[in-house]
Amino acid sequence: MKGSWRALLVAGLLAALTPAGASAQDPQWARATQFADKPPIAFGAAWYPEQWPEERWKTDLALMKKAGFNTVRIGEFAWSTIEPREGEFHFEWLDRAIAAAQRHGIMVVLGTPTAAPPAWLTQKYPDVLRVDEDGTRAGHGGRRQFSFASARYRRFARDIATRLAERYGHNPDVVGWQIDNEIGPPSFDPEAVALWHAFLKQRYGDIDTLNRRWATEYWSQHYNTFDQVPLHATGQQNPALLLDFKHFTTATWTSYVMNQANAIRAHADPRQFVTTNTMFWNGGFNHFALHRGLDIAAWDDYIQDANPDWIANGANHDLVRGYKQRNFWLMEAQAGRIDWVPVNRALKPGQVREMGWQAIEHGADAVLYWQWRSARNGQETYYGTVLGQDGEPNPIFGEIAKLGGELQATSAALGGTEPVAKLAFIYSYDSRWAIDLQRLNRNFDPIREFTDFYRPFRIQSQGVAVVSPQADLSRFPLVVAPALNVLTQAEADHLAAYVRAGGHLVLGPRSGMKDDADAVWPERQPGPLEPLLGAQVEQFYALDEPVGVTGDFGAGKASIWAEWLDPQAKDVRILARYTDPGGWLDGKPAIVTRPVGKGSITYIGAWLDPDLLASVAHALLDQSGIAPIVPNADPDLEIGERAGEGKRVLIVINHGDSAHPVALPKGARPIAGTIVDGQIAAHDVAVFRLGN
Ligand code: GLA
């Protein structure tokens, strides 16, 4: 066991630190399942049959059919029902639940139950329990109380995953697997510490290299051996250590997930996908790396204040799609209300359907609600659900059923299609983490900055892909990296090659500052891309109040962060300058660009206000030949296209509270929803076929 455990760790480590392989669109995955006889778009809910008397199941399943469901996700927290005592297994109820779903024409995604170990397990083997950074050991009664580094826990996880796969790996109604549930919390137990040391040794080879790359002469941090390096996620530590902690969690979670993925694949039909469900902008590990060994990505989308910012939410969908550059599953969607924020208001009428369609537009091939019905007791009884406590439909049922009907009506058109992205945004976990570790301006939230940059490009282009810094960029005429703070030489070479091949690259503020051990490059920003840009950042400034910016795109403001750019090469053009009377930035270049063959590299040195950024986006999209599908659409309107297999589908969503006109492309034929007198109503959706 020990050998394979180490091998898995190394595999995880390599996955975490080596560039992604091929990442082109992969149309084979542009259907909910790889089973040709199953629906191409999945619609359903998390269902917990173990929480209800069996006599009730058929009523539930019949109601699901009424809602247009064709999928249930089951089993994910059922360990104590499957194995109530060590070595005593009860799968019969699960056999019957799957068979009952099958009788109703409902396909199944099976969860491995490892997010919720039974009491006997943690009581008999307390060494598997997670330990917090402050040394507190977790106990039973919640979930995720295991250590991601525990070899014993992995043995139990592998065993239960194997048994499930042996039993259901060839069940034609089980279309896929979800490993664990929302993995995330790390552990600081002794096994994790030992693994941390092994990880660092694997990464740096010898301690001198670690000392050099972390600059440990500073504050007498020098280490004589790897064993001396403390395991920390927070606190007054060297940010290099804290960034490597993220690399460590990536490697450890990757090997944790692959332990189960390998167990499943050893027994399962390869058409059954293997995935795990991730969370909103979760920064606990590098999701690009973790997904390399999985078939598809899946995530859980909750709108915390029930007031969706459609662009921020859409950016997260695009990010999830980007993990594999394949269509994904929305494994959990909000059936109205959540229960974990101070005021858990419900989405407005129409918004549940609207958010379902948004997921589809961004490349989801599945929308599953959490959850069907709340257990009669437990931590989540107040959650928004499809059914009420009496087992009858809640008011949201009608809206969900409407979406279900629409998905049935459009699934032939949608099956095999993928979202059409006109440009790519680069999302870098290392950059996000490095900025978060040393913000300099506390208001520099890297997610907000990413979203602010993404916003005008999404509105104006109506299709953006989000990709890793190593992804194949060749199919995108324009690539924007809003804050590529950590930039390795290999990534810089990759981006330079893209530009030399005719691509237009745009870097945002704070780009090219650090290497992947969080050390500053000896060159000024953008570090290894400075020669290509022919300009450098003379100095950067955290702003407590906005400064003016004027130039080719009009006048506006920069706030939070501004960099004084210094052109070195003759062919660098200054596109905008700061106006900052009496300040350091006055008259200094804020945006520069340089042609490179048919391509170009542009550096935006500041966090610009929305209007100015919208003008910049307009000019850059124009330069790259990118035009919207529906011109002059109101920013409340989300427009997107899915295409593939000779089909084109246009999805129009009005996220606003009032009606808006839509200038449809010629020949658009409605297949779901309506537009009356050229207007789409508030919180409404309309779907069209385009082309022949
Ligand atoms: C997560 C979990 C679910 C449920 C929801 C509630 O997404 O995966 O089991 O707890 O949160 O928000």
Percent of the chain with pLDDT over 90: 95
Among protein residues, the one whose CA lies closest to atom 7 of ligand 1 = 300
The 10s digit of each residue's pLDDT in 240-271 is 999 999 999 999 999 999 999 999 999 999 99
* Residue found under tokens 């009377």: 581
The 10s digit of each residue's pLDDT in 11-37 is 555 555 554 444 456 778 999 999 999
Closest ligand 1 atom to residue 379 Cα is 10
**Both tokens of residue 575?**
């596109």
- Determine the distance separating the centroid of ligand 1 and the alpha carbon of 55, expressed in angstroms: 26
Of 97, 98, 93, which Cα lies nearest the Cα of 82? 93
Among protein residues, the one whose CA lies closest to atom 5 of ligand 1 = 370
Confidence at residue 28, expressed as pLDDT on a 0 to 100 scale: 82
Give the list of residues 6+ apart from residue 658 with CB closer than 8 angstroms, or none: 636, 682
Torsion-angle region of 190 (φ positive above 0: left; ψ -120 to 50: alpha; else: beta): alpha
Helix (H, G, I), strand (E, B) or coil at 340: coil
Confidence at residue 23, expressed as pLDDT on a 0 to 100 scale: 46
Beta bridge partners of 253: none
* Residue found under tokens 């129009």: 652
Burial class (CB in 10 A: 0-12, 13-18, 19+), 53: exposed
For the chain, the farthest-separated pair of C-alpha atoms sits apart, in whole angstroms, at: 79
∠ Cα 678 409 28 (to 5°)? 110
Confidence at residue 692, expressed as pLDDT on a 0 to 100 scale: 72
- Determine the distance separating the centroid of ligand 1 and the alpha carbon of 486, expressed in angstroms: 32
Q: For a substitution probing ligand 1, which of 281, 300, 374 has the most ligand atoms within 8 Å of its CB?
A: 300
**Is the C-alpha dihedral spanning 125, 128, 132, 134 positive or negative?**
positive
Query: What beta strand segments (E) does 468-534 contain?
Result: 478-481, 504-507
Give the list of residues 6+ apart from residue 113 with CB closer than 8 angstroms, or none: 75, 76, 77, 78, 79, 82, 160
How confident is residue 8, by pLDDT bands cut at 50, 70 and 90?
low
What is the helix (H) or strand (E) element at residue 426, kind and residue range?
strand 423-426
Res 110 pLDDT > 50: yes
332 is catalytic: yes
Q: For a substitution probing ligand 1, which of 77, 143, 181, 334 has the most ligand atoms within 8 Å of its CB?
A: 181
* Residue pair 117/84 in contact by the 8 Å Cβ criterion: no
d(CA 176, CA 338): 26
**DSSP annotation of 50:** G
| pLDDT mean over 406-427 | 98
Give the list of residues 6+ apart from residue 86 with CB closer than 8 angstroms, or none: 120, 121, 124
The 10s digit of each residue's pLDDT in 351-405 is 999 999 999 999 999 999 999 999 999 999 999 999 999 999 999 999 999 999 9
Of 261, 70, 255, which Cα lies nearest the Cα of 175? 70
**Is the C-alpha dihedral spanning 241, 247, 253, 255 positive or negative?**
negative
Confidence at residue 3, expressed as pLDDT on a 0 to 100 scale: 47
- Determine the distance separating the centroid of ligand 1 and the alpha carbon of 434, expressed in angstroms: 29
Ligand 1 — pocket residues by CB below 6 A? 181-182, 300, 302, 332, 338, 340, 370, 380
- Beta-carbon count within 10 A of 555 CB: 14
Phi/psi at 437 (5° precision): -70, -25
Burial class (CB in 10 A: 0-12, 13-18, 19+), 609: middle
**DSSP annotation of 581:** T
The 10s digit of each residue's pLDDT in 188-200 is 999 999 999 999 9
Helix (H, G, I), strand (E, B) or coil at 679: strand
Beta bridge partners of 120: none
Whether omega before 539 lies within 30 degrees of 0, making that bond cis, reads no
Q: Count how many residues are written for the chain.
A: 692
Percent of the chain with pLDDT over 70: 96
| Secondary structure of 531-551 in HEC code, one letter for each residue | HHHCEEEEEEEECCCCEEEEE
**Both tokens of residue 61?**
């399943």
Q: How far is CA 557 from the centre of its chain?
A: 30
Of 444, 524, 519, which Cα lies nearest the Cα of 483? 444
| pLDDT mean over 444-471 | 98
- Determine the distance separating the centroid of ligand 1 and the alpha carbon of 113, expressed in angstroms: 14
- Determine the distance separating the centroid of ligand 1 and the alpha carbon of 341, expressed in angstroms: 13
Strands 478-481 and 423-426, how do they pair?
parallel
Among protein residues, the one whose CA lies closest to atom 6 of ligand 1 = 338
| pLDDT mean over 615-639 | 97
Burial 631-652 (b: 16+ CB within 10 A, else e): eebebbbbbbbbbbeebbbbbb
d(CA 436, CA 156): 36
Active-site residue (options: 50, 182, 191, 530):
182
Q: For a substitution probing ligand 1, which of 332, 372, 379 has the most ligand atoms within 8 Å of its CB?
A: 332
The 10s digit of each residue's pLDDT in 117-134 is 999 999 999 999 999 999
491 is catalytic: no
Active-site residue (options: 76, 332, 406, 449):
332
- Beta-carbon count within 10 A of 173 CB: 16
pLDDT, mean over the chain = 96
The 10s digit of each residue's pLDDT in 286-332 is 999 999 999 999 999 999 999 999 999 999 999 999 999 999 999 99
- Determine the distance separating the centroid of ligand 1 and the alpha carbon of 654, expressed in angstroms: 27
